[in-house]
Each structure stands twice: as C-alpha cells, then as structure tokens.
C-alpha cells in the first residue's frame, strides 16, 4: 500500500501543492471574468468620457475629439477595445488616466498600499477584539455582559461610517487636539523611501521611528472608524459560532479531562469555531474595502476609495476599470488566503 | 471496597412549566474493580447521572444529595464530596481521578487536534510531565488499548481512524492519568456490532488488570449481560431494580425489568411489539411516560445490517475476541443482541429539548 501511494504522489505532486495550483489557476480565470465585467459595465455608462475629459469647448472641435479618441483608443469597436485592453493588461499596462494623465498602474501603486494599510490595520484589530468579545458573549450567554455586548455590536453595525468618521475627526482633532490632521503624514516629515507603499511599514524598514509614530498616529482614526463596524460584525458571528461549538461533545470531553478553562477555550472551542470565523473574516475584509471610500474622503487618505471616487466623477474609464480590477483581485486573493487557512486549521481539509 | 457512592441523588432542571425532576433520589454504590452497569431506556436519566458525577451538568440543572469519591487508600483521609464541590476541587478530580468515555468517538475527539495532543494535554496538566515523557506515556497507552502503530498514530487525526479505533483512543485518553473511576456512557452504541465486542473486552481487561472502577451506562441489555458485574435498571429517573448481574438477568423482581429482558432477541418469551409496549407502559410509574410509549415502533430485525458499514474491514482483534459469557439463553454472542430494540425517539427529543443534554442518537446509530 505504501509504495503504491508513493508512486502516485510522485506522479501528481503533493496533494496540497496540487490543490494550491488548482486554486491559483481558477483565480486567474476569475480575474479574466472580472476584466470582462468591469469593461462591459464601464462602457455601458451613459455619458461621454470625451466631453467629461475635454470640457464643452474642446468637445465641440471635431479635430480635438478625434485625436482624443485615437489617443485613448476609443475610436475602435468595443470588442477590439476589450482585446486591446486585455493584451495591454498582460504587459501590466492598464491604460492612461485622462484625469491624472498618469498611467493607471502608477496611480494604483500609490492608492492600493494606502488603502491596504488601513484595511489590514482594521481587520487585525477587529479580529483580536471581535474574537475576544464574541467568545465572552457566548460564555456569558443571557447574562448582563452578553446584553451589553449585543448593544455595543449593534451600535458598531448601525452607526454610519462617514458620520462616525466626521464626529471622531471633529472631537479628536478640532476639539481635543489628540489626533493629527488628515493625510498620511504631518507636513514636517518626508515620506520614507517606498518599498511596500505603506507608510508605517516603509518607515520601519528605513528605521525612521519618528516617521513611524507620526504615520501610526495618522492611521489611528481611519482604522478606528473601520474597526468599530467590523468589531460589531465579528462579535455577533463569533458569538454564534462559539455557542455552536460549546454544545459539541468534544468540548464536554475536554472539560471531563479536567483541562483548565483557558485551555478549553483556546485549544478546543476556538479551534472548533475557526472555520466559520475565518469565513466571516474574509467577508468582513471585503466589506472593509468598500467602507474605505467614505472614510478616505473624510480623512483625505490618498487610497483606492478616493481614487475611485475621483475617477467615477470624471468618467475616467481606464481609472474606473483599474479600480474594479484591483478590487476584484483583492477579493479573489482574500478568498484564496481564507481557503488556504481552512487547510491550515482543519486536518480534514488538508489531508482529504 | 466502595469507590464511588451516590446517595439520594436528585437532578432537576427549570423548565417553562416549573422545576422538573430528571433523576429522583437514586442510590448507587460502585465497588472498586467492578463494572457497574446502569441500564435504562433513553431519557431515563442515566447519562445525567454520569455527568453529575463529574459535575458537568448544565448550569440550569440543580443537584441535591451526595456523590462521594473515596480516596485511593483509606489512610489518605475522608471521601471527597462532589455535589457542590468548588471548581478547584473538581479540576483536580476530572480526568485525574474520574474520567469519562463518551458515546460517539467521532464527536468526542476534537476533529482538528492530533491524537498526540488530545492524549497528552491533560497528562501534562495533571501529572506535570514534560512533552517527551507525556509522549512516551501516550505511546504506552495506545499500545495498551491495542491501536496499531502507536508512534505514527500520535501524529494523525481522528478522521484517519476507524470507529472502533477511535473509541479505543478515547479510552486511552480517559485512562491517561490513571483514574480510579471510569464513566463509560454508551461506549459501544455508536460502533459496529463486530467492533463492540472488542471494545467491551478491552474494558473488562482493564478492570481486571488495574482495579479500575467502571460505571457503564447503556440502553443495551446485551452489552450489560456481557460485561457488567452489578446492574442497576433505571426508568424515568428512578431506580427500578439493582443487584448482581446473575440475579437481575435470571430472576428479575420487577415487572419492568422482566419486560426489558423479554424484549431481548433470543428471549424465550414470545411477544409482539404491541403487547410489549403495553407491558412497558403498565410498568411505568409516570403517566406521561406511558403516553410516550404508545407510538412504539420497533425496527424490523430483518432490516438490520449484519456487516460493518464504515467501509473498513473489521480487524481480527476487534471481531474475534471472546467476550464475557452471557447468562441468558441465546445470549452467548454479543453481535446477536446488538439489535436490541431501543425505545422510541420521542423520549429523547423531549428530554434534549428541555435539557440540552441528551443521551445521543442511540436509535439511529444502532441501526446504521
């Protein structure tokens, strides 16, 4: 039996590697699907990008319009445009933004790390707080703590993000002067050399502690706003997942073994709840990204949300398609990571 | 010598219609080195009794009476009272002095934790062993319960074992800290009939070799007749009859015991399901239980499978071991009695709805 298994493994590779390759290939196919959808939707928009980009006066001059169309390739039939777009994509060319006059790729290289910085900060903080609060609520089911946490998480879920962002900005910046103003860094600091595009990480990599502290202070409020919503969401889901696991035989068996309460919680209960919790964390990360549009505009954060807003209001089609593509890729990447984490936490997935 | 003494134990839970007694004033004495069988239909309170011994009942359940655990050696002092014991006292008893084996090893072992971790975490906690010593002990335990390739098994996960092996592992987990008392809650119900005998044989050997005290909870009188030394029959939270196995099975005093025995296949008493149901209802002391027995629907024995269903061929060690001889005529081989019809599911549904703790899906498991 053993040699037979060895030859099979030799031919097709480790089952996990095979699974990984399969998932990555599927994701690539989905990316192509995303380009089709973003391209189609963007070109269905009623409105003339030429008029939007050139202004009324220039748009009345046929020569200017024709050269604009030729420059941005919009004089070709849609199908040709799509394949041109795809072909350029393969070379990393997402087109040129008529608004910023930069290649879209360059714009995104600035915007994506800025957004990821607050989104990752918020999801990490939310998972830590949400798991602790959700577990606490499940253990104190029906008691005062549970009811208080229910109200807190409902508040987090129902308070509008942009409103909260404005209120916090007003209170912490204008009134209390605790938080720094908008943007990613105070004016006295120069941005650290770009490695990841995330100011805090780059500052750390460059060993500039003062810049790191200033960047972290700027991160604080936007991350807080996004965290409150996500914590509300996660607390509810973790509570439900933990309650389900608390009913399992293996939790009773762990207690019957005389294990201390914290071992039962960490090794047995949370391990058991990890799969539903991972699922919801993946989804929460997606909704975080959509939440950043409003938060970014309040805090003048030069991220994906601000860029999308600008591109959409100017009918900047390459910009809009670029944002759509990037968000699609981030979603797919999140899904892929969540799927891989399933196999890390659950041997039944890993060894199946 | 007594190991565990249960006196006048009453368990009640708050329901919407007031306080309801699940177990009413029962007395059970477990003697050291003996297997004490606690039999009764689903919902009769036998699992609740076992959980009460470990103080693991849900918070809503109220306990009165006394459960005393005698010290290993009488010179070590007085028995420990379990009813109302503090968390600290229970922490030192659970898993260390009283251990439990649950009905279904596919749910009582954590699917995401390796066998090695589940076999060593409480050993390290209770006995203060380091990782290497605990692992060595785990290998020893797996060898003792006859799990093949113990070193390799430690790195594997529950789903990679057959049902019988999983239950052997669960028994090894329970025995890991060398407890004085083992509570076995339907330890063979979820297993294939061919595997049941091997697990029971193992229990018997452990008791004979280590002076372990076992409370064996089961609804299966066939299992009881095969391994128990003493037998207590429960019905609707009360003890109907108690005594040595020999006497209970040959000269039952109570009408209910007689009805249960008559329901065993191979019994000399010929009765169809209807008369049996009436008899059981007549023997019942609580009227609502009598009602519930009305829709008795015993499974057709011809439909019962005679081969294991989980696709793994039964190992010789599981299937071919001789089992403690039965005292009933026609009861000599255990597989023959595994189809002992269990009570209708309506009992369980009601008890689990009010309690959150059920005996587990006895009915379905037996006939899979």
Neighbouring CB atoms inside 10 A of A78's CB total: 12
Cα-flanking dihedrals φ and ψ of residue B204, to 5°?
A: -60, -45
Q: Is there a contact between B110 and A255 if contact means CB atoms under 8 Å apart?
A: no
For chains A and B, what is the number of CB pairs under 8 angstroms?
A: 85
Rg of chain B, C-alpha, whole Å = 20
Q: Is there a contact between B54 and A345 if contact means CB atoms under 8 Å apart?
A: no
For residue range B2-33, what is the model confidence (pLDDT) as tens digits?
A: 899 999 999 998 888 888 888 999 999 999 99
Specify the long-range contacts of residues A327-335, CB closer than 8 Å, at least 24 apart: A327/A289, A328/A30, A328/A31, A328/A34, A328/A37, A328/A38, A329/A31, A329/A34, A330/A289, A331/A286, A331/A289, A332/A27, A332/A30, A332/A31, A332/A34, A333/A27, A334/A282, A334/A285, A334/A286, A335/A27, A335/A282
Question: Does the CB of B117 have a partner CB in chain A at under 8 Å?
Answer: yes
Q: Are B151 and B185 in contact (CB under 8 A)?
A: no
Token pair for A234: 């996660």
Question: Does the CB of B61 have a partner CB in chain A at under 8 Å?
Answer: no
What pLDDT is stored for residue B4 in this prediction? 93
- Greater confidence (A125 vs B302) lies with A125
Q: Which chain B residues are closer than 8 Å to A252 by Cβ?
A: 56, 102, 108
Chain A 231-250, residues with CB within 8 Å of chain B CB atoms:
247-250
What pLDDT is stored for residue B344 in this prediction? 43
For residue range B179-194, what is the model confidence (pLDDT) as tens digits?
A: 999 999 999 888 888 8
Q: Which chain A residues are closer than 8 Å to B365 by Cβ?
A: none
Token pair for B155: 């790195």
Q: What is the DSSP string of B65-115?
A: EEEEEPPSSGGG-SPEE-TT--HHHHHHHBTTTEEEE-S-HHHHS-TTS-H
Q: Is the ipTM of this complex over 0.85?
A: no
Q: Is there a contact between B95 and A348 if contact means CB atoms under 8 Å apart?
A: no
Token pair for B129: 């062993």
What pLDDT is stored for residue B278 in this prediction? 55
On the 0-12 / 13-18 / 19+ scale of CB atoms within 10 A, B165 is: buried
Q: Which chain A residues are closer than 8 Å to B56 by Cβ?
A: 252, 255-256
Pairing, β B2-15 against β B61-69: antiparallel
Q: Are B236 and B289 in contact (CB under 8 A)?
A: yes
The SS3 of residue A273 is helix
Token pair for A71: 């420059």
Q: Are A294 and A161 in contact (CB under 8 A)?
A: yes
% of chain B residues with pLDDT over 70: 71
Domain A104-313: which CATH number of 3.30.930.10, 1.10.1240.10, 1.10.760.10, 1.10.3720.10:
1.10.3720.10
Cα-flanking dihedrals φ and ψ of residue A247, to 5°?
A: -80, -5
Q: Is the pLDDT of residue B56 over 60?
A: yes
Residue B52's pLDDT band (cuts 50, 70, 90):
very high
On the 0-12 / 13-18 / 19+ scale of CB atoms within 10 A, A253 is: buried
Q: Are A27 and A42 in contact (CB under 8 A)?
A: no
Question: Does the CB of B68 have a partner CB in chain A at under 8 Å?
Answer: no
* Exposure b/e, B286-307, CB count within 10 A at least 16 = b: eeebbebbeebebeeeeeeeee
Q: How far is B259 from chain A (nearest CA, A)?
A: 32
On the 0-12 / 13-18 / 19+ scale of CB atoms within 10 A, A24 is: exposed
Cα-flanking dihedrals φ and ψ of residue B2, to 5°?
A: -80, 140
**Mutate which of B108, B185, B353, B357 to disrupt the A interface (most A C-beta within 10 Å)?**
B108
Q: Are B31 and B59 in contact (CB under 8 A)?
A: no
Q: How far is CA A30 from CA A329, A331, B313, in A?
A: 9, 11, 44
Q: Is there a contact between B121 and A259 if contact means CB atoms under 8 Å apart?
A: yes
Q: How far is CA B112 from the centre of its chain?
A: 25
Token pair for B277: 């149901």
- Greater confidence (A147 vs B310) lies with A147
Q: If we measure between CA atoms, which residue out of B23, B43, B45, B46 comes closest to residue B289?
A: B43
Q: State how far the Cα of B271 lies from the Cα of B257, in Å rounded to an integer.
A: 15
For residue range B90-143, what is the model confidence (pLDDT) as tens digits?
A: 999 999 999 999 999 999 999 999 999 999 999 999 999 999 999 999 999 999
- Average pLDDT (B197-209) is 90
Q: State how far the Cα of A297 lies from the Cα of A288, in Å rounded to an integer.
A: 15
The SS3 of residue B31 is strand
- Average pLDDT (B292-313) is 44
Residue B331's pLDDT band (cuts 50, 70, 90):
very low
Domains and CATH numbers, chain B: 2-95+179-250+298-367 (3.40.50.300), 111-177 (no CATH)
Q: If we measure between CA atoms, which residue out of A331, A333, A334, A322 comes closest to residue A38?
A: A322
- Average pLDDT (B225-239) is 91
Q: State how far the Cα of B364 lies from the Cα of B304, in Å rounded to an integer.
A: 11
Helix, strand, coil shares of chain B, percent, nearest 5, are 45, 20, 35
Residue of A nearest to B119 (CA): A257
Q: Domain-by-domain residue ranges, chain A?
A: 2-90, 104-313
Token pair for B1: 């010598």
Q: State how far the Cα of B24 lies from the Cα of B44, in Å rounded to an integer.
A: 10
Question: Does the CB of A344 have a partner CB in chain B at under 8 Å?
Answer: no
Pairing, β B181-185 against β B98-101: parallel
- In this prediction the pTM is 0.76
What pLDDT is stored for residue B363 in this prediction? 37
Question: Does the CB of B95 have a partner CB in chain A at under 8 Å?
Answer: yes
On the 0-12 / 13-18 / 19+ scale of CB atoms within 10 A, B264 is: buried
Token pair for A174: 């204008």
Q: If we measure between CA atoms, which residue out of B357, B363, B367, B362 comes closest to residue B104?
A: B362
pLDDT (tens place) for every residue of chain A, 352 residues total: 444 444 444 445 677 788 888 888 988 899 999 999 888 888 877 767 777 777 777 777 888 888 877 777 777 788 888 888 888 888 888 888 878 888 999 999 999 999 999 999 999 999 999 999 999 999 999 999 999 999 999 998 898 888 888 898 888 888 887 778 778 888 788 888 888 888 888 888 888 888 888 888 889 999 999 999 899 999 999 999 999 999 999 999 999 999 999 999 999 999 999 999 999 999 999 888 877 888 888 888 899 989 998 888 888 888 888 998 998 899 899 999 998 899 889 988 877 6
Cα-flanking dihedrals φ and ψ of residue A301, to 5°?
A: -90, 120
Q: How far is CA A307 from CA A36, A119, A177, in A?
A: 21, 16, 28
Q: Is there a contact between A348 and B157 if contact means CB atoms under 8 Å apart?
A: yes
Q: How far is CA B263 from the centre of its chain?
A: 20
Q: What is the DSSP string of A34-83?
A: HHHHHHHHHHHSSS-HHHHHHHHHHHT-HHHHHHHHHHHTTTS-HHHHHH
Q: Which chain A residues are closer than 8 Å to B104 by Cβ?
A: 249
């Amino acid at each position: 039996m053993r040699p037979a298994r060895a030859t099979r493994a030799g031919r097709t590779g480790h089952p996990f590697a095979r699974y990984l390759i399969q998932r990555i290939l599927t994701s690539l196919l989905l990316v192509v699907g995303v380009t089709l959808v973003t391209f189609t939707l963007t070109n269905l928009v009623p409105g003339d990008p030429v008029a939007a980009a050139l202004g009324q006066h220039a748009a009345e001059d046929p020569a200017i319009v024709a050269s604009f169309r030729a420059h941005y390739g919009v004089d070709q039939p849609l199908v040709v445009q799509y394949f041109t777009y795809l072909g350029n994509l393969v070379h990393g060319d997402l087109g040129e933004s008529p608004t910023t006059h930069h290649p879209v790729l360059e714009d995104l290289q600035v915007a994506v790390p800025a957004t990821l910085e607050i989104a990752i900060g918020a999801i990490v903080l939310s998972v830590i707080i949400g798991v602790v609060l959700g577990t606490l609520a499940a253990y104190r089911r029906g008691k005062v703590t549970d009811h208080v946490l229910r109200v807190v998480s409902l508040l987090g879920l129902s308070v509008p993000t942009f409103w909260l962002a404005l209120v916090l900005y007003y209170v912490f910046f204008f009134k209390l002067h605790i938080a720094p103003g908008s943007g990613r860094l105070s004016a006295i600091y120069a941005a650290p050399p770009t490695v990841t595009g995330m100011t805090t990480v780059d500052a750390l990599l460059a060993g500039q502690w003062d810049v790191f502290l200033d960047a972290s202070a700027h991160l604080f409020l936007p991350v807080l706003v996004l965290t409150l919503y996500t914590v509300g969401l996660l607390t509810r889901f973790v509570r439900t997942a933990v309650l389900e696991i608390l009913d399992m035989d293996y939790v009773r068996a762990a207690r019957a073994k005389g294990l201390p309460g914290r071992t039962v919680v960490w090794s047995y209960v949370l391990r058991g709840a990890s799969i539903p919790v991972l699922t919801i964390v993946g989804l929460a990360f997606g909704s975080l990204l959509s939440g950043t549009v409003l938060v970014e505009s309040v805090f003048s954060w030069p991220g994906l949300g601000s860029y999308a807003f600008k591109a959409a209001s100017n009918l900047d089609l390459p910009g809009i398609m670029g944002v759509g593509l990037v968000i699609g890729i981030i979603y797919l990447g999140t899904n892929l990571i969540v799927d891989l984490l399933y196999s890390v936490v659950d041997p039944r997935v890993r060894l199946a | 010598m007594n190991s565990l003494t249960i006196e006048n134990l009453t368990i009640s839970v708050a329901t919407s219609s007031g306080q309801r007694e699940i177990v009413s004033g029962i007395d059970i004495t477990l003697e050291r080195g003996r297997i004490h069988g606690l039999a009764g239909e689903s919902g009769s309170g036998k699992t609740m009794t076992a959980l009460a011994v470990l103080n693991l009942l849900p918070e809503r359940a109220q306990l009165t009476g006394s459960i005393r655990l005698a010290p290993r050696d009488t010179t070590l002092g007085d028995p420990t009272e379990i009813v109302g014991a503090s968390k600290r006292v229970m922490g030192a008893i659970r898993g260390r002095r009283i251990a439990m084996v649950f009905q279904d090893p596919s749910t009582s072992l954590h699917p995401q934790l390796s066998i090695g971790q589940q076999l060593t975490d409480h050993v390290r906690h209770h006995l203060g062993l380091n990782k290497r010593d605990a692992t060595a002990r785990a290998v020893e335990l797996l060898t003792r319960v006859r799990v093949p390739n113990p070193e390799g098994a430690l790195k594997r996960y529950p789903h990679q074992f057959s049902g019988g092996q999983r239950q052997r592992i669960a028994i090894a987990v329970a025995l890991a800290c060398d407890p004085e008392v083992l509570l076995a809650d339907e330890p063979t119900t979820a297993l294939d009939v061919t595997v049941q005998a091997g697990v029971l044989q193992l229990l018997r050997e452990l008791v004979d070799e280590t002076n372990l005290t076992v409370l064996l909870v089961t609804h299966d009188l066939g299992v009881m007749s095969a391994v128990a030394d003493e037998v207590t029959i429960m019905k609707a939270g009360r003890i109907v009859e108690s005594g040595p196995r020999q006497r209970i099975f040959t000269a039952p005093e109570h009408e209910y015991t007689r009805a249960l025995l008559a329901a065993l296949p191979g019994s000399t008493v010929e009765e169809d399901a209807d008369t049996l149901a009436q008899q059981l209802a007549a023997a019942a002391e609580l009227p609502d239980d009598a009602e519930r027995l009305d829709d008795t629907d015993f499974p057709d024995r011809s439909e019962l499978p005679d081969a294991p269903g989980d696709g793994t061929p039964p190992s010789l060690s599981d299937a071919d071991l001789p089992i403690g001889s039965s005292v009933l005529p026609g009861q000599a081989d255990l597989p023959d009695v595994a189809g002992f019809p269990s009570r209708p599911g309506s009992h369980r549904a009601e008890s689990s709805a009010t309690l959150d703790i059920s005996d587990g899906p006895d009915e379905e498991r037996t006939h899979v």
